[in-house]
């Protein structure tokens, strides 16, 4: 053993991740995932114990209390392993590799993720949570540690051989499984996919599956597009049922706003209480889009309420948005969000208290079952039916008192790091709020967020995945570039500010340079091609609770390809969709955001260009707002004054008539219409171009 290495000690105190800092006082000598830790493992010839989690993860906290705070556990980990702690939100690329390994070994995954690696980083054994004693069919963590240490000492050759074989399996799973589809059109494939989705739909409670339920934002986005463009009655039925179930049930924080991460039951009633930025950004957008598409003001209200929660509770003074709020408060899961009759009466007048308890099912015996004794006698606010407009007005008057009262309780810890891709999703949600609600304040909020992303996260070619105050997190990954590019394009479409268009193009070009997995139609690696700290690289194809990295990348390529008239970018996006059509047909719930992109692509490309003489920003905004009463999910919108954006070929040859200060053009597959300079003229052109109207006007 080398003697030039310093003693192993816990290195997490100065980490930029709050989750890692939560483990800084553990007796375990946690290392960061970096070259120093990997080099030590090779020199000392010890296996690596890799633990991956995140700040809002309840079972991560449980394992930290039970095992990582134990001196006995620490003694084994520190002497026989190199213990490494990773925040999955900082390193989703690393998490993807090792989650794939654990899923291959056990058939399931989740967090905390516990993986044993060779010194070269190849996994050979793993699972999720391990209890401190034999329990729930799982062995005690100390028994696992001693067993693995014994295997490494006594049967290393078998461990290394098994790790090499597993690595080959993982490499195959980290590339898209292409399924041949013959000559079927995307239209046919989409029809088959929606039929498959209907088979798995829960007609009683909404959503899909018979167990825990996560908010299916991608599936709802896709169904919205089918309703918008096809008037698909079955899609609308599934859509409304699921939206109503989420909006009324325990998944939603009715008092404070926003949504929890998932429910542990199929009825959408009992949540796992953490709140994630990405879920709430995606759900806000879906509800706002649904309000426009379905002419349903109550969905607009849910979308607005969700954004207002994020702006009030999750916005950083810098303009970005924080990552998450914990499930636990004061060491007790969910207690910040629960109510009993005494608490309600302490917060409200007798009349309002009685109404709230009856309408939101606050019962003296509690309204859910739990293994936690401290949950007994408490209730999760939830509705059997949506509030009427009059009831909504009444509830709005008493919410402030309820929020004020629950602030007396220990608040859930917040993870204040600002993640680039999740803030990119937030840009898109805020842009949709401008379209749906006609409120420029949301554009101002998005502008502050976008300024931060460009100045902090993307001040150099590598970019930053996250920042926390003046600390910088790891380099950006594919979804950071792609989600922010798409968000900037959405922001441009509602403001007409050319700088967002130009910034989106810059990010996309850098993405192509640093992440390409070959030809553009082959997709992109999740990590930059010069990354050296992973044993293998993924070309991600699935969507998760967030849009998949390559789904976002292809959305950016498609829209910018239209604006640049860049045939190679358009072709790459189309080929990616066709190559993955088989997956979409057979496993629609695995690629729902990709299906939404497919639904947009089969409509045929439409570009709307607005040009103005300098000093006419308000007229540009008014012209753009004319578009918000249309189904333009499939379109690309660009605006610039006469002296800007020459690099976007869509502006070429489009000169404003001498008598006008602003003009708009619509171009489709059959060519461009003559320009118009009046708002009603643009509306007539949209009719002529076959761009359908929504039921409500923006």
pLDDT in tens, 412-453: 999 999 999 999 999 999 999 999 999 999 999 999 999 999
Give a yes or no: residue 499 inside a domain: yes
Give a yes or no: residue 630 inside a domain: yes
Whether residue 596 sits in one domain with residue 628: no
pLDDT in tens, 198-250: 999 999 999 998 899 999 999 999 999 999 999 999 999 999 999 999 999 99
CB 323 within 8 A of CB 89: yes
pLDDT of residue 697: 39
Q: Is 319 helix (H, G, I), strand (E, B) or coil?
A: coil
Number of H helices, E strands in the chain: 25, 18
**99 CB-near residues (< 8 Å, 6+ apart):** 52, 109, 113
Q: How confident is the model at residue 182 (pLDDT cuts 50, 70, 90)?
A: low
Q: What is the mean pLDDT of residues 14-33?
A: 96
For residues 137 and 342, what is the distance between their CA atoms, to the nearest angstrom? 40
pLDDT of residue 33: 96
pLDDT of residue 374: 95
Question: Residue 416's CB: how many other CB atoms inside 10 A?
Answer: 17
For residues 109 and 131, what is the distance between their CA atoms, to the nearest angstrom? 16
CB 421 within 8 A of CB 475: no
Whether residue 345 sits in one domain with residue 297: no
Q: Is 418 helix (H, G, I), strand (E, B) or coil?
A: strand
Phi, psi of 95 (to 5 degrees): -60, -40
Whether residue 550 sits in one domain with residue 454: yes
Give a yes or no: residue 369 inside a domain: yes
Q: What is the mean pLDDT of residues 166-171?
A: 93
CB 386 within 8 A of CB 251: no
Whether residue 682 sits in one domain with residue 642: yes
Which parts of 114-179 fold into alpha helices (H)? 141-154, 156-173
For residues 117 and 157, what is the distance between their CA atoms, to the nearest angstrom? 14
Number of domains the chain contains: 4
For residues 109 and 115, what is the distance between their CA atoms, to the nearest angstrom? 11
Whether residue 295 sits in one domain with residue 219: yes
Give the burial string for 493-522 (b: 16+ CB within 10 Å, else e). Answer: bbbbbbbbbbbbbebbebbbebbbbeebbb
**Residue of higher predicted confidence among 586 and 429:** 429
pLDDT of residue 183: 66
Whether residue 511 sits in one domain with residue 429: yes
pLDDT in tens, 448-502: 999 999 999 999 999 999 999 999 999 999 999 999 999 999 999 999 999 999 9
- Please give the angle made by the CA atoms of 655, 659 and 665, to the nearest 5 degrees: 40
Whether residue 582 sits in one domain with residue 474: yes
For residues 12 and 385, what is the distance between their CA atoms, to the nearest angstrom? 48
Give a yes or no: residue 299 inside a domain: yes
Give a yes or no: residue 491 inside a domain: yes
Residue 602: closest CA among 629, 573, 561, 582: 573
Whether residue 291 sits in one domain with residue 215: yes
640: Cα separation from own chain's centroid: 30
Structure tokens at 207: 């959503």
Continuous segment of H or E residues that includes residue 501: helix 498-515
Q: How confident is the model at residue 695 (pLDDT cuts 50, 70, 90)?
A: low
pTM, to two decimals = 0.94
Whether residue 543 sits in one domain with residue 445: yes
Whether the pLDDT of residue 72 is over 90: the answer is: yes
pLDDT of residue 180: 61
Whether residue 128 sits in one domain with residue 46: yes
For residues 680 and 698, what is the distance between their CA atoms, to the nearest angstrom? 15
Mean per-residue pLDDT over the chain, rounded: 94
Whole-angstrom CA distances from 332 to 65, 81, 338 are: 13, 32, 11
For residues 530 and 425, what is the distance between their CA atoms, to the nearest angstrom? 26
Q: What is the CATH number of the domain that holds 37?
A: 3.40.30.10
Whether residue 403 sits in one domain with residue 543: no
Question: Residue 331's CB: how many other CB atoms inside 10 A?
Answer: 10
Whether the pLDDT of residue 1 is over 50: the answer is: no
Whether the pLDDT of residue 647 is over 90: the answer is: no
Question: Residue 621's CB: how many other CB atoms inside 10 A?
Answer: 19
Q: What is the mean pLDDT of residues 666-686?
A: 89
**Among 173, 201, 228, residue at a domain's last position:** 173
Beta strand 471-472 with 466-468 is antiparallel
pLDDT in tens, 385-418: 999 999 999 999 999 999 999 999 999 999 999 9
For the chain, percent helix, then strand, then coil, each to nearest 5?
Answer: 50, 10, 35
Q: What is the CATH number of the domain that holds 572?
A: 1.50.10.10
pLDDT of residue 622: 93
Give a yes or no: residue 359 inside a domain: yes
**Among 569, 601, 633, residue at a domain's last position:** 601
pLDDT of residue 694: 81
- Domain residues for 404? 329-411
**Among 358, 381, 411, residue at a domain's last position:** 411
Structure tokens at 270: 């009992």
Phi, psi of 607 (to 5 degrees): -120, 140
Continuous segment of H or E residues that includes residue 113: strand 113-117
Give a yes or no: residue 561 inside a domain: yes
Whether the pLDDT of residue 572 is over 50: the answer is: yes
Which parts of 201-249 fold into alpha helices (H)? 217-230, 233-248
**585 CB-near residues (< 8 Å, 6+ apart):** 179, 181, 189, 192, 193, 196
Give a yes or no: residue 648 inside a domain: yes
Question: Residue 440's CB: how many other CB atoms inside 10 A?
Answer: 13
Whether residue 563 sits in one domain with residue 652: no
For residues 649 and 669, what is the distance between their CA atoms, to the nearest angstrom? 16
pLDDT of residue 6: 85
Q: How confident is the model at residue 680 (pLDDT cuts 50, 70, 90)?
A: confident
Q: What is the mean pLDDT of residues 583-611?
A: 93
């Amino acid at each position: 053993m080398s003697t030039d290495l310093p003693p192993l000690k816990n290195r997490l105190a100065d980490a930029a991740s709050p989750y890692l800092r939560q483990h800084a006082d553990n007796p375990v000598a946690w290392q960061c995932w970096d070259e120093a830790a990997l080099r030590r493992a090779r020199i000392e010839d010890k296996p690596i114990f890799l633990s991956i989690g995140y700040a809002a993860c309840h079972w991560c906290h449980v394992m930290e209390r039970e095992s990582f705070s134990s001196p006995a556990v620490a003694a084994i980990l520190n002497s026989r392993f190199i213990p490494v702690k990773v925040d999955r939100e900082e390193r989703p690329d690393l998490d993807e590799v090792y989650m794939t390994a654990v899923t291959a070994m056990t058939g399931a995954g989740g967090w905390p993720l516990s993986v044993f690696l060779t010194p070269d980083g190849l996994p050979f054994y793993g699972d999720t949570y391990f209890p401190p004693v034999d329990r729930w069919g799982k062995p005690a963590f100390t028994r696992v540690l001693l067993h693995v240490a014994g295997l490494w000492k006594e049967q290393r050759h078998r461990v290394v051989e098994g790790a090499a074989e597993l690595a080959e399996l993982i490499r195959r799973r980290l590339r898209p499984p292409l399924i041949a589809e013959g000559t079927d059109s995307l239209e046919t494939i989409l029809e088959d996919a929606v039929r498959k989705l209907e088979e798995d739909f829960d007609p009683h409670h909404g959503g899909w599956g018979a167990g825990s339920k996560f908010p299916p934002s991608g599936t709802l986005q896709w169904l919205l597009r089918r309703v918008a463009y096809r008037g698909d009655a079955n899609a609308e039925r599934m859509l409304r049922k699921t939206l109503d179930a989420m909006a009324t049930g325990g998944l939603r924080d009715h008092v404070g706003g926003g949504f929890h991460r998932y429910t542990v039951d199929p009825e959408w009633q009992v949540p796992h209480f953490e709140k994630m930025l990405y879920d709430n950004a995606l759900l806000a957008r879906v509800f706002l889009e649904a309000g426009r598409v379905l002419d349903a003001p109550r969905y607009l209200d849910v979308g607005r309420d969700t954004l207002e929660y994020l702006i009030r509770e999750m916005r950083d003074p810098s303009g970005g948005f924080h990552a998450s709020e914990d499930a636990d408060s004061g060491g007790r899961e969910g207690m910040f969000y629960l109510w009993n009759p005494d608490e309600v009466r302490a917060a409200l007048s007798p009349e309002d208290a009685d109404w709230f308890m009856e309408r939101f099912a606050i019962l003296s015996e509690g309204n859910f079952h739990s293994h936690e004794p401290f949950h007994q006698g408490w209730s999760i606010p939830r509705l059997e039916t949506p509030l009427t407009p009059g009831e909504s007005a009444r509830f709005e008057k008493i919410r402030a008192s309820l929020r004020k009262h629950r602030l007396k309780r220990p608040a859930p810890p917040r993870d204040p790091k600002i993640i680039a891709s999740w803030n990119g999703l937030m840009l898109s949600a805020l842009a949709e709020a401008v379209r749906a609600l006609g409120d420029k304040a949301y554009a101002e909020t998005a502008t502050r967020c976008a300024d931060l992303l460009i100045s902090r996260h993307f001040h150099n070619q590598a970019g930053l995945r996250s920042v926390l105050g003046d600390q910088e997190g790891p380099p950006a990954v594919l979804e950071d570039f792609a989600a922010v590019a798409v968000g900037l394009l959405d922001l441009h479409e509602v403001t007409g500010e050319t700088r967002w268009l130009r910034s989106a193009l810059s990010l996309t070009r850098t993405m192509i340079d640093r992440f390409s997995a070959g030809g553009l139609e082959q997709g992109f690696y999740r990590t930059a091609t010069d990354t050296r700290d992973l044993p293998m690289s993924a070309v991600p194809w699935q969507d998760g609770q967030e849009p998949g990295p390559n789904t976002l990348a292809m959305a950016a390529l498609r829209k910018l390809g239209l604006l640049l008239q860049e045939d190679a970018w358009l072709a790459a996006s189309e080929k990616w969709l066709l190559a993955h059509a088989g997956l979409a047909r057979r496993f629609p719930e695995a690629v729902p955001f990709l299906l939404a992109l497919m639904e947009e692509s089969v409509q045929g490309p439409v570009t709307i260009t607005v040009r103005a003489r300098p000093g006419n920003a308000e007229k540009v905004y008014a012209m753009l707002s004319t578009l918000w009463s249309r189904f333009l999910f499939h379109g690309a919108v660009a605006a610039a004054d006469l002296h800007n954006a020459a690099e976007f070929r869509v502006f070429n040859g489009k000169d404003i008539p001498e008598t006008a200060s602003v003009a708009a053009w619509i171009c489709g597959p059959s060519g461009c219409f003559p320009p118009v300079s009046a708002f009603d003229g643009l509306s007539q052109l949209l009719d002529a171009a076959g761009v359908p109207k929504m039921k409500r006007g923006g």
